[in-house]
Amino acid sequence: MSKFNVTRRGAIKTTAAAGAGLALPTIFTSSAYAITNNPTGGSVTLGFNVPQTGPYADEGADELRAYELAVEHLNGGGDGGMLNTFSSKVLDGTGIMGKKVEYVTGDTQTKSDAARASAKSMIEKDGAIMITGGSSSGVAIAVQGLCQEAGVIFMAGLTHSNDTTGKDRKANGFRHFFNGYMSGAALAPVLKNLYGDDRKAYHLTADYTWGWTQQESIAAATEALGWETVNNVLTPLASTDFSSYIAPVLNSGADVLVLNHYGGNMVNSLTNAVQFGLREKQVNGKNFEIVVPLFSRLMARGAGENIKGIVGSTNWHWSLQDDGSKAFVKSFGEKYGFPPSQAAHTCYVQTLLYADAVTRAGSFAPCDVAAALEGFEFDGMGNGKTLYRAEDHQCFKDVLVVKGKENPQSEFDLLEVVEVTPAAQVTYPPNHPMFGGDEASLGQCNNGA
């Protein structure tokens, strides 16, 4: 084998050379060209990146159904769905700017890495001009960052963390779904009406980005009412049994339990809490209550009986009676035989909003599309009057406070709407400390190369 001598002189020389190398001016130049994946033929490709395997596969499957429906409607098929109720009328069922809409799908596996790999292959191989989807905030933030670098538009699917349009906001990324802060702001007045303003809350929080921002938001909103936060316990994401976390609640003197959990976590923790008889208990002379800030119908179905009477918030529910919701539920129901989830709704709406923005901008260039979406006000998409705020690319709209139904009529009829909190009440300044404060910025929009 060869010998390798290191001398002091040699080491210094090498270090100096390496240092000089690092400080060297740009040897190779890179320059910007036209936009990434500009559709030149008769069709335009969208990338639907949803979890098809892993813990959120149910949501992912529903999102994919919504996307297929949206593509059908954009290409003039079906009954047009929300195209008929959408306040902007530039979409006419001939695709996007006369180009037929085609799509590719990928599996995020609810992992940032896999999601980025899948999105990259859509951009590099299939020529997707826009990426959308996802059912977790971690994935949304990761893919949003990728789309920013690659120079395509990202229309977020289901992501509820404040960070997506907070400290991790990006010029090329847009979110229609609501967030943790909005949940807190919408829930607080309802909780006050139902349970009074003198309560002691105990938080169980999923130990990751979404859990923290959600807990922070709810604690702040309820403390503003006069509630006291007794304790906040972080639970590992992989937990399936929460008994050991529920037992201390009984002796803590708290009279409200807030479960900052989502998906399977929430189903398990709620079931444990109910099994421990928390809901029959009396503490401080009041009934013990449980609150689940983020609800979805798919979770309600998992929790079964235990969900009855539990209060939470949601982005949209199929039982809403406005024209947009009815049109969407009708065409979704006719195609698939059951009502859509809130994940399906937000994905469907995001696709239409993108198509509309391209048409209004008259260009596929991400910067033009972003400009068309910024400050855009629309209606008829199921949430009432909605604003896409320019400063952080977050939609501001009414938030639904829902409750587990006591007497469900069908397996889909699990939630009833308690109150529709108006958008003004859940609006916050773009430099709110929970959203990255003054330092958070969208950065420059990127048209790609």
Partner 1 sequence: MLGLNKKDMTLLIVVAILTLLAPFILNPFPVDSGMAQFNAGYPDLMQRFVIFGILAIGFNILFGLTGYLSFGHAAFLGVGSYAAVWMFKLLSYNVVPAILFSVILAGLFSVLIGYVSLRRSGIYFSILTLAFAQMSFALAYSVLSNPKFNLTNGETGLQVYADDPQILHRDGLPDVPHLFGWAMRDNFLELKLGGWEFTFNNGYYLCAAILLVVFYLSIRLFRSPFGLMLRAVKSNQQRLNYTGLNPKPYTLAAFIISGMYAGLAGGLLASMDPLAGAERMQWTASGEIVLMTILGGAGTLIGPVLGAGFIKYFENIFSKINDNVLHQWFSFMPDGMEDFLVFIVHPFVGKGWHLTLGILFMLVVTFLPGGLVEGGQRLGRLVRSRGKKPEDPKDPEHHPKETPHVAE
Closest among 65, 51, 44 to 152, alpha carbons compared: 44
Q: How far apart are CA 73 and CA 405, in angstroms?
A: 33
**Separation CA 223–CA 226 (nearest Å):** 5
449 binds partner 1 (CB under 8 A): yes
Binding segment toward partner 1, per CB under 8 A, in 146-154, 248-256, 290-298, 308-316: 146-154
User: Would you state the structure tokens that stand for residue 370, as one six-digit string?
Assistant: 């972003």
The one-letter amino acid at 270:
L
215 is a contact residue toward partner 1 (CB under 8 A) = no
Helix residue ranges, H only, 75-208:
112-124, 137-150, 180-195
Q: What is the C-alpha to C-alpha distance for residues 392 and 414, in angstroms, rounded to an integer?
A: 33
Helices (H), 257-393: 264-275, 297-303, 323-336, 342-361, 366-373
282 binds partner 1 (CB under 8 A): no
List residues bridging with 259 in a β-sheet: 204
| 53 forms part of the interface with partner 1 (CB under 8 A) | yes
Number of residues that bind partner 1 (CB under 8 A): 57
Nearer residue to partner 1 within complex by CB, 124 or 334: 124
Of the candidate residues 3, 89, 236, 406, the single one contacting partner 1 (CB under 8 A): 236
CB of 413 to partner 1, least distance (A): 28
Question: Judged by CB, which is closer to partner 1: 38, or 441?
Answer: 441
Q: Does 107 bind partner 1 (CB under 8 A)?
A: yes
CB atoms within 10 A of CB 75: 17
Near partner 1 by CB under 8 A, which window of 6-14, 97-105, 301-309, 352-360?
97-105
Q: Does 112 interact with partner 1 (rule: CB under 8 A)? A: yes
- Of the listed pieces 139-147, 256-264, 353-361, 368-376, which binds partner 1 according to CB under 8 A? 139-147
Q: Are 217 and 181 in contact (CB under 8 A)?
A: yes
In this structure, the dihedral spanned by the alpha carbons of residues 31, 35, 39 and 41, taken in order and rounded to 10 degrees, is -40
Q: Does 443 bind partner 1 (CB under 8 A)?
A: yes
- Judged by the rule CB under 8 A, the positions of this chain that interact with partner 1 are 1-2, 18, 21-30, 52-53, 57, 68, 103-107, 111-114, 116-118, 120-121, 124-125, 136-138, 141-142, 145-146, 149-150, 163, 167-168, 207-210, 212, 234, 236-237, 439, 441, 443, 449
